[in-house]
Structure 1
């Protein structure tokens, strides 16, 4: 290239740079909601060292600054009382106009699948068709964050759909809990509501916490310290797959289905007649294995027509919780990691014969539900080209190979997907918003931390403090949902994991400006995703109405257990937040009492002067009381406002 050409190219690059369009993060867009009566930050990129000007249509104010050497700029504007629509123009010579902006209340909504659960889609909440058709609330605006993760804190975020006006066309795939929360606020306050929805099913609280936040949680300091070394490897997917394959091989030594190296239960001639029967699709917790987390094997003999022989086959299992390996006539076909992924495998034609063929699936479950849990229409086998299919639904043979309760270290060593790892979701789905002014947070999560309920106590409070610190306001309201009932109803379960998580959630009420929606009355024994999200959203909104918006006519919580005293053979339980006391009438259920032997007995409980008096003829010298202590408790203590009292215990055994 000659000197003249080089000069021309340099000049053109300068012109392109000078005419580069001013940019802002994806959540600054038409239809957005800005927090009312606040100092709100607008920021983005422009030409380096250029003057950036912002003009707001509500007051015609002119704000300006000069961008930095890398083009970054930030301007703080003052928002008025609720109203709109308004426009904002941003310019560095090239003008960007944001239109149809409302000023109101902005809430950040996050958690796992119960927060993510849409009105329709996979959720199909109670009365979803009617709810969708009536969702005409143009002053409620919806921003849906795309599922993504990052090892490094991000400044911008990927959006599934952004700042849509709430309508039957936009609400069906949005968070039902967040929508019903906003609907209640709108109906009561008549103020525009902006919802930033950023959640991901099955994810634990540590994934939503920053590295700096984890350094303040004792059990996570080690993880936080390891992140610096992990950051040196950017090949996320290859790294994860290699880790998972290595771990699968590590399980062979402890799995009864292996001889240490080779699988024993996959062959065509293996006799599985003594195995149990297990329906597919279903989770094994519903069929006698409610406390089993580990590795189980499924076998099914399938009779294939002669037209299938020698042809490549497609095997679909729907979804499996959590991981699986597929074998066909004793040959390993492939494996898939992660419960949310569709299982689709191609079986080479050389393995396929007419008549009896054997499909074997090795399923690895690390907590919660386990099994082949797809739907009737996505569990089949068929030819690849003609797409003729034979259902794989129905009874399979079933046998457990490894119980993680007897090999905890192997479970702890299991590599998890990046969305489950500490910090990754915070970096990609929370950090971009920390300079976006909000009123507060709503949160629905905890199921993914069920096996670490005691640890959750510090972790959850650490996450709340972390988020407030990131947003620069330690008083931001944080309202959350306690775990709903799930699994078979039980009066009492001393080994209940969900009871411990609920207790840890209750402990976060010691932090200022927090509130907990108790939903022990609206769970579903057979569905971890109960359908009555209308009431969940309403109860979260009650917390905001009373505590944030200072509505004196709202009582957002039932009485909360605070203390106890023992007099003779009776235990007297006292409560705070009494309001008008308890809802009276009928026999109280859910109370159990124990002596120092720590053996709990069903107790009689009565309401006396806003205390609960608990006793049992089998316990002469009581030491402790527990209420609602099981995954799915049978309990009926309510406040006078009709809201349930949270499960609790007086002991710390």
Structure 2
């Protein structure tokens, strides 16, 4: 056993938790706990930066000491002595933040390497450190330590593993204050907020408690996992067994099969619009392309946008890559020498799980090499390989209430941090009315667990996503954004508005640098006390003036403006007769005047109230977007 890590405890060994390890960053100007395990009653001495701290292990072998008011700097070594001696090396003192939530904070720099190539190549920040918490869950007890993980410094060899949001946030803070920054990522894609809250805190949410109860039975969990595995294996096995593209003679990814009777589809396309309504099964696509000579003997990548749901992709009959679910972009490196001058064949086996197959539009479909590319949109031949029923739903056990709190968050709470960044909400959009209560519970729970009442908490509001609305409509995404804004009533919280940073066709938008920098801006004000404009306009109140409504805001900064210089868009107004219609809007001083000539007695206004209010363009002079709002809240 590695003696610096406490995933296993020995009565005769000095053991440290995973976080207390080489390369760690300790929080400056705070009381910092160093802890571990040794033999019961054993004296323990910690030597650090010329100071000595002494304690004795308790009956259970646990011990801790507290370092106070450390100044930013390093690297330092820490010597810890009991019956054994451990030296923890390369320690920095600076700012430490924990980032948690769903996939958009979990998403790594690898995913955005094409968006920010210079940030990958030129990354040399030895004083920015990252710790990634591995997935683990438990429904009965909080863990005292992590199963694995280590601190990594930011450099070209490691940066692709960093949280993209976390890295750009840390880089901004590091450059602003010239101090080391540590970022601890504890996030899992698809996780609802309930999974990150402790069991005792969830007591005020009876529905979550009812959901949790059966999962406290380990045998029940094993049974669910076994059934889910069998269901998935059976469905996939049947799909493969019945796929004519794999079983009827030569496979359909082979180069020389006869495709003269295959129909043609213009890609990208939604399969339902091509006569394949509610289709679940396998469709094979083939396209013959001309590869120019200048593309040969160069690094080439195949970009296939996004595909719903899974794919296996071949070039000239050779497998080049696969992704099993719909969200990641398809970017496959072509082995050198596989392409040839002239005609080449691309074959894509698409698995449609639930009747909504698609090559997503407004994405890149190209064969790309330095200085040249081949467009892949247009006509592809296709043929159905297998038809089956939709893939049966399975239970995502690790998403159930309190599981991720116990497995991933609880082991962090002895480690002193400056604050938390929370990027989550997509999983809770079907139940937005519950979100504010759960958000308050989570914030209060975490502050209690860390024993830091003034724990700054920065919430990343959901960006725009989904099909653009042609007329004003209701929106669960908008309601959840509203609930996130409500969190501002709690002390030491901030919300960053990102309504201009999303992508209509991607749940994981790529502009993570903007997100990270906006979080850093909020932190500069909320956590570090700078006097600056850290937010865009936030709705304050309204006044009916004849057939118009005047909207007043806080956080107008140096004034209001249209982001693109065009007329204000995505305002809607409602009259006494009911029903919202699009409205005119103009800036007058620090207010926005909203009207529609057909509404004589207006009663309410909404702004950017949609899943994807892409056209919304109200900002302050500092360029920060106005938060979506409605004046007709039923609970106000």
> One fold, TM greater than 0.5?
yes
Pairwise CA distance, 1:159: 3.5
CA distance in structure 1 between the aligned counterparts of 2:187 and 2:280, rounded to whole angstroms: 32
Partner of 1:504: 483
Do 1:125 and 1:531's aligned partners in 2 also have CA atoms closer than 8 Å? no
Match of 1:165 among 153, 156, 171: 153
Pairwise CA distance, 1:46: 0.7
SS of residue matched to 2:479: helix
Match of 2:603 among 623, 637, 646: 623
- For 1:274-423, list aligned pairs within 5 A: 296-298=279-281, 300=283, 363-364=353-354, 395=382, 415-423=394-402
Pairwise CA distance, 1:19: 8.7
CA distance in structure 2 between the aligned counterparts of 1:103 and 1:74, rounded to whole angstroms: 19
Partner of 1:190: 178
CA distance in structure 2 between the aligned counterparts of 1:401 and 1:622, rounded to whole angstroms: 53
Partner of 1:328: none
SS of residue matched to 1:461: helix
CA distance in structure 2 between the aligned counterparts of 1:511 and 1:459, rounded to whole angstroms: 13
Partner of 2:632: 651
SS of residue matched to 1:456: helix
CA distance in structure 1 between the aligned counterparts of 2:383 and 2:46, rounded to whole angstroms: 65
Question: Aligned pair in 2 of structure 1 residues 209, 372: CA closer, same or farther (>3 Å)?
Answer: farther
CA distance in structure 1 between the aligned counterparts of 2:75 and 2:350, rounded to whole angstroms: 60
- For 1:8-407, list aligned pairs within 5 A: 20-57=12-49, 60-119=50-109, 121-124=110-113, 126=115, 128-151=116-139, 152-160=141-149, 162-229=150-217, 237-238=225-226, 240-241=228-229, 296-298=279-281, 300=283, 363-364=353-354, 395=382
CA distance in structure 2 between the aligned counterparts of 1:277 and 1:206, rounded to whole angstroms: 46
RMSD: 4.3
CA distance in structure 2 between the aligned counterparts of 1:43 and 1:594, rounded to whole angstroms: 59
Match of 1:426 among 399, 405, 422: 405
Pairwise CA distance, 1:571: 1.4
CA distance in structure 2 between the aligned counterparts of 1:502 and 1:193, rounded to whole angstroms: 29
Question: Aligned pair in 2 of structure 1 residues 19, 574: CA closer, same or farther (>3 Å)?
Answer: closer
**Residues 1:457 and 2:436 are matched in the alignment:** yes
CA distance in structure 1 between the aligned counterparts of 2:269 and 2:450, rounded to whole angstroms: 43
CA distance in structure 2 between the aligned counterparts of 1:148 and 1:279, rounded to whole angstroms: 43
Partner of 2:617: 636
- For 1:482-561, list aligned pairs within 5 A: 482-490=461-469, 492-552=471-531, 554-561=532-539
Per-residue CA deviations over 1:524-576 (Å, capped at 9, x if unaligned) read 22222222211111100000112211222x31101210222223221121212
Match of 1:583 among 558, 561, 568: 561
Do 2:283 and 2:385's aligned partners in 1 also have CA atoms closer than 8 Å? no
Question: Aligned pair in 2 of structure 1 residues 99, 481: CA closer, same or farther (>3 Å)?
Answer: same
TM-score, scaled to structure 1: 0.73
Partner of 2:593: 613
Do 2:202 and 2:441's aligned partners in 1 also have CA atoms closer than 8 Å? yes
SS of residue matched to 2:153: strand
Question: Aligned pair in 2 of structure 1 residues 222, 236: CA closer, same or farther (>3 Å)?
Answer: closer
CA distance in structure 2 between the aligned counterparts of 1:648 and 1:534, rounded to whole angstroms: 25
Pairwise CA distance, 1:605: 1.0
Question: Aligned pair in 2 of structure 1 residues 401, 604: CA closer, same or farther (>3 Å)?
Answer: farther
CA distance in structure 1 between the aligned counterparts of 2:162 and 2:430, rounded to whole angstroms: 29
SS of residue matched to 1:122: helix
Matched residue count: 547
Q: Which runs of 5+ in 2 are unaligned?
A: 1-8, 236-247, 249-262, 287-303, 312-322, 330-348, 367-379
Partner of 1:260: none
Pairwise CA distance, 1:419: 2.4
CA distance in structure 2 between the aligned counterparts of 1:339 and 1:550, rounded to whole angstroms: 42
Question: Aligned pair in 2 of structure 1 residues 578, 89: CA closer, same or farther (>3 Å)?
Answer: same
Pairwise CA distance, 1:465: 2.0
Question: Aligned pair in 2 of structure 1 residues 299, 244: CA closer, same or farther (>3 Å)?
Answer: closer
Partner of 2:374: none
Partner of 1:346: none
Pairwise CA distance, 1:70: 2.6
CA distance in structure 1 between the aligned counterparts of 2:617 and 2:585, rounded to whole angstroms: 11
Match of 1:594 among 574, 595, 618: 574
CA distance in structure 1 between the aligned counterparts of 2:207 and 2:508, rounded to whole angstroms: 29
Do 2:572 and 2:607's aligned partners in 1 also have CA atoms closer than 8 Å? yes
CA distance in structure 2 between the aligned counterparts of 1:47 and 1:281, rounded to whole angstroms: 64
CA distance in structure 1 between the aligned counterparts of 2:310 and 2:102, rounded to whole angstroms: 19
SS of residue matched to 2:428: helix
CA distance in structure 2 between the aligned counterparts of 1:279 and 1:418, rounded to whole angstroms: 39
